[in-house]
Copies of this chain bind each other. A is one copy, B any other.
Amino acid sequence: MSDIAILTEADLRRAVTLGAPVLAAVEEAFRLLASGKVIMPPILSMEIAEANGEVDVKTAYLPGFDHFAIKVSPGFFDNPKLGLPSLNGLMILFSAKTGLVTALLLDNGYLTDIRTAAAGAIATKYLAPKKIEAAAVLGTGAQARLQIIAAHQMRPFSRVLVWGRDRARAEACAEDIAAALKINTEAVPDAAAAVAAAQLVVTATSARKPILRAEWLHKGMHITAMGADQAGKNEIDPRAVALADLYVCDRVSQASALGELRAARAATLMNGTNPPELGAIVAGTHPGRTSETAITICDLTGTGAQDTAIASYAFAAAQKLGIGAKIKA
């Protein structure tokens, strides 16, 4: 009936890189989220326990956008035993006028990686202290690398400390970040020491018990917690969430079900509060950080608004470069 563009992971890696235009696209998604005009239904989630797998579907309609994306993210955690990555998936871009399929973005999770790192950079831009000498990351996976690389575009810190349960993986992560940013990085054995030395801390793990303790909070720091995206996950000590001068999340409805806010409320903390969303700070309707010495936390669960933003950006970028195949369908 109409032409559908097909973009493979290789196509998308050519068209989309973690630079200023992508960060601006994701920032705009947060700004729009604060307008109250975004339509973003609850995440569809299905667990397939017998395969140690799950699949999430996210979407959002952003007013003024020509398209909306539907993203399907499977996570099958026995895949590494088969030599396959755990996380995969695709995004489908639809016309927001007719509902026709415009493009299939067969990204195997690449665009999710990028938009997730971009959200961390936006949190850094709006919430971190102005002056950051050292950043720390707890976690050693793909997001540990990407979060730091993205945040560095907002605050050009000169040093990175990497902590992970597995020392060899922490060292590999530190080396990769050093190679990407040409700055000093170090794998450290002690998470507390890493946090003590840093003004920006990113947690990027699948922890189910807190890895960052309330006693470690210190003046003039910002924490971006991006690992928890399921009811069982929890990276930040609930007392830390309550003690921070400002707790912000990407979406209250999601953070209270899937993020650090869920764990804090389960610990009977933060129950009387309705915390601000990152979008309100981007849009300027909430002041955000009010002093260099404040302690701020941003809890990111990942939103369909980011998916529509990155998929729209990726499609436009690929079109401009003449990348991708077409199919009559």
List residues of A whose CB falls within 8 A of some B CB: 1, 4, 6, 8-9, 39-48, 50-51, 53, 55, 57, 59-61, 63, 68, 70, 72, 74-76, 79, 82, 84, 88-90, 92, 94, 96-101, 104, 106, 108, 325, 327-329
Contact of A44 among B41, B51, B68, B89 (CB under 8 A): B41
B48 touches A96 (CB 8 A): yes
Min CB–CB distance A69 → chain B (angstroms): 11
Q: A92-B72, A108-B329, A329-B106 are in contact. Are A84 and B61 (CB under 8 A)?
A: no
A52 to B76, CA, bound (A): 37
A84 touches B68 (CB 8 A): no
Contact of A99 among B6, B45, B55, B98 (CB under 8 A): B55
Across-interface contacts of A94 in B (CB, < 8 A): 55, 72, 74
Count of identical protomers in the assembly:
2
A41 to B41, CA, bound (A): 14
Contact of A42 among B8, B40, B44, B74 (CB under 8 A): B44
Across-interface contacts of A74 in B (CB, < 8 A): 94, 99-100
Q: A41-B44, A99-B55, A101-B88 are in contact. Are A72 and B75 (CB under 8 A)?
A: no
Across-interface contacts of A6 in B (CB, < 8 A): 6, 327
Residue ID in chain B nearest A59 by CB atoms: B46
B76 touches A48 (CB 8 A): no
Min CB–CB distance A188 → chain B (angstroms): 34
21 interchain pairs (CB within 8 A)?
Answer: A4-B106, A8-B328, A39-B46, A40-B46, A43-B44, A44-B57, A44-B59, A46-B68, A48-B96, A51-B96, A53-B97, A57-B57, A72-B92, A74-B94, A76-B99, A79-B98, A79-B99, A88-B98, A88-B99, A88-B101, A106-B327
Min CB–CB distance A43 → chain B (angstroms): 8
A59 touches B61 (CB 8 A): no
Min CB–CB distance A237 → chain B (angstroms): 31
Chain A at the B interface: SS class? strand
Contact of A55 among B45, B48, B70 (CB under 8 A): B70
* Most chain B beta-carbon neighbours within 10 Å: one of A68, A70, A79, A108: A70
Across-interface contacts of A75 in B (CB, < 8 A): 99
A6 to B1, CA, bound (A): 15
A329 touches B9 (CB 8 A): yes
Q: Given A46-B68, A55-B68, A55-B99, 15 other A-B contacts at CB below 8 A?
A: A1-B108, A6-B327, A8-B327, A39-B46, A41-B44, A48-B96, A51-B98, A53-B96, A55-B70, A72-B94, A88-B101, A89-B99, A106-B327, A108-B329, A325-B327
Min CB–CB distance A7 → chain B (angstroms): 9
Residue ID in chain B nearest A101 by CB atoms: B90
Min CB–CB distance A85 → chain B (angstroms): 8
A57 touches B70 (CB 8 A): yes
